[in-house]
Amino acid sequence: MRGRSVLAVVLVVPPLWLAGGLHSWTWFFGALIAELVVLLFWISPLNRPNKRELTPQELADELKRHLVGNEGPHDWGDTTSFELADERLNRLIPRLLEYDRVDTPEKRKQLREMIETLRRGEIPG
């Protein structure tokens, strides 16, 4: 709560001084918008998600949980949405999207084979 108050004061007081000194509310709103734009550009690089560090075996564990259906509500989205540090594994992500629903025996078999390959430390071709 205190941080929000400090942020509000830091954002509002300088535009108020400017508007008061120049006797125009236009300067207040212009300065406030300029501050917000600068703040957003300054903060945006900090919000980029880091690449996930996964081994082939850890990815196989995530795929196995999806296959057997005992994953959390957001696990599959995390598996298929975040970029992986290992570029070889990262290339698998678009292929994993076709296993969003593992509703046919053929898909289940293909996903099992992919899991077995990853458990051996190999990357499926």
The confidence band for 10, taking pLDDT boundaries of 50, 70 and 90, is confident
pLDDT in tens, 72-88: 888 998 888 888 989 99
Question: Which pTM was predicted?
Answer: 0.61
Q: What length does the chain have?
A: 125
Residue 114 CB burial class (10 angstroms; 0-12, 13-18, ≥19): buried
pLDDT in tens, 18-74: 888 889 889 888 888 998 888 888 877 766 667 888 999 999 999 999 999 999 888
Distances (CA, A) of 52 to 80, 82, 88: 11, 7, 13
pLDDT at 47: 63
Instruction: Answer whether residue 2 shows pLDDT above 80.
Output: no
Rounded to whole angstroms, the Cα distance separating 1 from 59 reads 39
